Structure 1
Amino acid sequence: MKVLLLQDVEHLGKAGEIKDVSGGFGRNYLLPKGFAVLATKSQVKQAEERLAAQRRKAEAARKEAEALAARLAELTLTFTVKVGEQDRLYGSVTNADIAAKLHEVAGIEIDRRKIGLEDPIKRTGEYEVPVELMSGVSSTLKVVVVGE
């Protein structure tokens, strides 16, 4: 029995693949649970169209992320904060602060978890902060911290 997988099935295959399975496995498990449908010509064609649409959508998102990465590479964020002796900050500049400033200055919304700041910034100076926009697309943001 040939079936078209609608979802990833462990030890069988990924969604969109056509697999040849035993009749009992298909009728008693895959079809009733909604993991697969019979592989008719129309079902295969619909699956190919869905996959093509997903690929186009993913490619558009990737291009958008690459354009955003180029914008971020040119951007410099400046934080003016109170400092004490030896240029140590009162408080710190965190990835949440960077995300808020990025939204305020450039109108770019980025989740704070995508900003790869290992430790909060506690001294004045210039810092290169990595930003992971999506899998395989990242950029570096320049952050300048100056004292009042």
Structure 2
Amino acid sequence: MKLILTQPVSGLGTPGDVVDVKDGYARNFLLPRKVATPWTKGGQKQVDSITAARSKRALKSAEEASAAKGRLEGTTITVAARAGQGGRLFGAVTPAEIAEAIVAAGGPQVDKRQIEVPAPIRTLGDHAVHVRLHEGVSADLTVTVTAA
């Protein structure tokens, strides 16, 4: 099935990409989560608008992304969360909370969809997080979760 991606999908593509996927993957995962729409003949206008919006939101250039990478990799981000006995959190630390903590620490404005957490953060301590800043430019940073 041919689809137009409306949001980034790890391992598949970015918004505005036209992808060909299996019917079940499209019906059961991509379409219900509204991360893709079916391809139509008039879909080219939608692809153009998504691409234009993405370019406005992206960092201005790869040089700025490289500078932001240098600032991010040199810092440790601290997030305070409610925790119970034994260091288990009540819930998990979300990418949105990490994005807010990056800005609070003096880092660049990062969209929560650019933050990839390999496993849900549900314990206190240090955790590795991957941030996609620009195409080909990404930063790995450490998030320290403390009890609130």
Per the shorter chain, which TM-score range?
0.5 to 0.7
Give 4+ residue runs of structure 1 displaced > 6 Å after superposition: none
Aligned to 2:128: 128
Matches within 5 A, 1:27-106: 61-106=61-106
Runs of 5+ unmatched residues, structure 2: 1-59
Q: Partners in 1 of 2:140 and 2:116 — Cα distance?
A: 9
Task: Measure, in 1, the Cα distance between the counterparts of 2:62 and 2:77.
Answer: 24
Identify if the C-alpha distance between structure 1 residues 71 and 107 changes in structure 2 by more than 3 Å, giving closer, same or farther.
Answer: closer
Q: Does 1:112 align with 2:112?
A: yes
Shift of 1:107: 4.8
Superposition TM-score, scaled by structure 2 size = 0.55
Q: Deviations over 1:88-124 (max 9, x none)?
A: 0012211110001112221521111111113431101
The structure with the greater share of residues assigned to helix is 1
Task: Return the letter of the residue paired with 1:66.
Answer: S
Backbone CA RMSD of aligned residues = 1.6
Question: Structure 1 length as normaliser, TM-score?
Answer: 0.55
> Would the aligned equivalents of 2:69 and 2:133 in 1 still touch at CA under 8 Å?
yes
Deviations 1:49-94 (CA, angstroms, capped at 9, x unpaired): xxxxxxxxxxx71111111101000111112222112210012211
Q: Is the 8 A contact 2:66 2:137 kept in 1?
A: yes
Instruction: Output the CA distance in 2 between the equivalents of 1:75 and 1:117.
Output: 17
Between structure 1 and structure 2, the one with the greater Rg is 1
Measure the CA separation in 2 of the matches of 1:79 and 1:129.
13
Report percent identity of matched pairs: 36
Residue 143 of structure 2 corresponds to residue 143 of structure 1: yes
Consecutive unaligned residues of structure 1, counting only runs of 5 or more, are: 1-59
Paired residues, what number? 89
The DSSP-based 3-state class of the residue aligned with 1:67 is helix
